[in-house]
Copies of this chain bind each other. A is one copy, B any other.
Amino acid sequence: MAEANVRRFPREAQTSFRPEVRMETDKASLEIGLNAAIVAVLDNEPVVLIVREDDEKNAQSMGQQDGLPFGPFSPVAHRTLESGLRAWVAEQAGLDLGYVEQLYSFGDRGRHAELGDVGPHVVSIGYLALSGAHQIDETKQGSWRSWYHYFPWEDWRKGRPEILTSEIEPRLRKWAAETSAAPNPNRPIARYDRAKMCFGLDGAAWDEEKVLDRYELLYEAGLVDEARRDGREAAGQWPQFPRLGAPMRFDHRRILATAIGRVRAKIKYRPVIFELMPPEFTLFELQRTVEAILGPHLHKQNFRRLVEGAGLVEPTGEVKTRTGGRPAKLYRFRKEVLLERPAPGVRVKPGRV
């Protein structure tokens, strides 16, 4: 809806502010690509729709890496960016997207631009979409994969992830120690300090929303495969294995990181968590879903106090019996909360392990 009111710049206006650039632009062929991180929660696992190009002969070019679904935006066929996205996701994946949110637009010409690219320039726009689990079986193309497959260090549901202690921390500390070589004036914050803030080294807090910051730091330190692929080997000689999470094509892991960070932030002030739930659920099922998204586990009693107290849910009157213990009341999302609170969401402060 936010896009409905835009149209092309009239020629006069462009001329008035910057005439000469107009020509340049005309010469370059430009395309828009839409990338979607389509998220669901399946059996308490946060999953994302992945496409592979296994059947392509030139698959080796990217080492057959996983990728997010994407498609070009055709201004002829679609009125808005979002409707374009919905259309090809429906057609290709057979998914009827519910909640859709724009993440970020990226310009072209990343690190590979120097290597003599030809062809059209592409501006890609990343989207986050939330899908109810009920549609998952009907997915026509692509497969669902846990997002922690790509970001194992983000999964704190069983305590601090092993990979942090055994792999990431030592490599980051080594990277931070190398700093004296070439102090980068564009980086006013020291390597160690950034690593500390992102990964909670030495007692600093772990902020579950800083997913993108952590990925970017690992990239910059040359610790993720994509960095090596993009020509960053020079950053340091690190063991190739174990890998720090599964790599993805192009910058798709970066887009996924953005998406995860956005959902994690959003469920705290918007009731988007219910996009990922069935219509009726127990409070503990809701908690498991929130934990799947946020990473850490939550205090059960406080969680229900919070959710009920905020008026986010209401009991249906039914109970679910096969819980393994006392039967649990069933709840549903209470839509009226939208009319009562300015920013309704699951305001949890994931405490600690």
| Contacts A81-B123, A207-B343 known; 15 new A-B pairs at CB < 8 A | A2-B106, A8-B122, A10-B61, A12-B61, A16-B55, A16-B56, A17-B70, A25-B31, A25-B32, A25-B73, A27-B76, A28-B74, A79-B107, A83-B107, A207-B342
Q: Which of B17, B18, B28, B250 contacts A6 (CB 8 A)?
A: B250
Contact of A30 among B12, B32, B79 (CB under 8 A): B32
Say which residue of B1, B22, B56, B76 sits within 8 Å of A28 (CB atoms): B76
What is the oligomeric copy number?
2
Q: How far is the CA of A107 from the CA of B21 in the complex (A)?
A: 21
- Beta-carbon contacts under 8 Å, A95-125 to B: 102, 104-113, 117, 119-125
Bound CA span A243–B40, Å: 45
Asked if A7 is at the interface (CB within 8 A of a chain B CB), the reply is yes
Q: Assess whether B216 is in contact with A111, with CB atoms less than 8 Å apart.
A: no
A18 touches B106 (CB 8 A): no
Complex Cα gap A32–B7 (Å): 12
Q: Give every chain B residue within 8 A of A76 (Cβ-Cβ).
A: 24, 27-28, 121
Measured CB to CB, the closest approach of chain B to A338, in angstroms, equals: 7
The prevalent SS among residues of A at the interface is: mixed
Return 20 A-B CB contacts under 8 Å, by A number: A2-B104, A2-B216, A6-B250, A7-B250, A8-B31, A8-B108, A8-B117, A8-B120, A9-B33, A9-B70, A12-B56, A13-B62, A18-B88, A21-B77, A25-B73, A75-B108, A102-B104, A123-B123, A197-B338, A210-B342
Known A-B contacts A12-B61, A17-B92, A51-B17; A24 and B107 likewise in contact (beta carbons under 8 Å): no
Q: How large is the interface on A (under 10, 10 to 19, 20 to 34, 35 or more residues)?
A: 35 or more
Known A-B contacts A70-B17, A123-B81, A205-B342; the reply to A110 vs B11 at CB < 8 A is: no
Contact string against B for A residues 243-274, beta-carbon threshold 8 Å, 1 for contact and 0 otherwise: 00000011100100010000000000000000
Give the CA-CA distance A32 to B9 in the complex, in Å: 10
